[in-house]
């Protein structure tokens, strides 16, 4: 992951206004560096730059869930899904979060309302 971090930092040197680069740096900081304060700061910057960037919301929700901030994590997951409602990955991520947070009833309701429930692609696991 040092190469991913270096690539994100290089992208930010070239253009500090890239939400994707801030989100990538945040994700690498979160998952591989365990530097949660840097990750949170970078996620906020990415979301400020592009509030409709679903991946930034989804990754930020993972950070919030890992830090035990359940209600904030669920709100970010909803923002991720709302930002890109047709992206199967977002519905899967919301389902995973609800499952791990033990919100089984909400999970079933979300799954029934998801456009993915009609005919999911073969490469996406069903929870």
**Could you give the dihedral angle defined by the CA atoms of residues 102, 83, 20 and 56, in that order, rounded to the nearest 10 degrees?**
-20
> Does residue 43 contact residue 63 with C-beta atoms inside 8 Å?
yes
pLDDT of residue 111: 64
Cα separation of 50 and 44, whole Å?
10
C-alpha distances (whole Å) from 97 to each of 46, 56, 92 are 21, 15, 9
Show me where the domains of the chain are located.
2-117
14-71: pLDDT as tens digits = 999 999 999 999 999 999 989 999 999 999 999 999 999 999 999 999 999 889 898 8
**Domain 2-117, CATH:** 1.25.40.10
Mean pLDDT score of the chain: 86
pLDDT of residue 87: 78
């Amino acid at each position: 992951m040092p190469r991913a971090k270096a690539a994100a930092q290089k992208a930010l040197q070239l253009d500090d206004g890239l939400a994707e680069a801030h989100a990538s740096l945040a994700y690498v900081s979160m998952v591989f560096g365990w530097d949660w304060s840097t990750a949170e700061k970078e996620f906020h910057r990415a979301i400020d730059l592009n509030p409709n960037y679903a991946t930034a919301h989804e990754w930020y929700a993972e950070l919030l869930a890992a830090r035990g901030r359940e209600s904030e994590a669920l709100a970010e997951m909803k923002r991720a899904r709302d930002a890109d409602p047709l992206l199967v990955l977002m519905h899967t991520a919301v389902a995973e979060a609800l499952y791990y947070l033990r919100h089984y009833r909400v999970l079933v309701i979300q799954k029934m309302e998801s456009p993915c429930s009609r005919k999911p692609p073969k490469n996406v696991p069903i929870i």
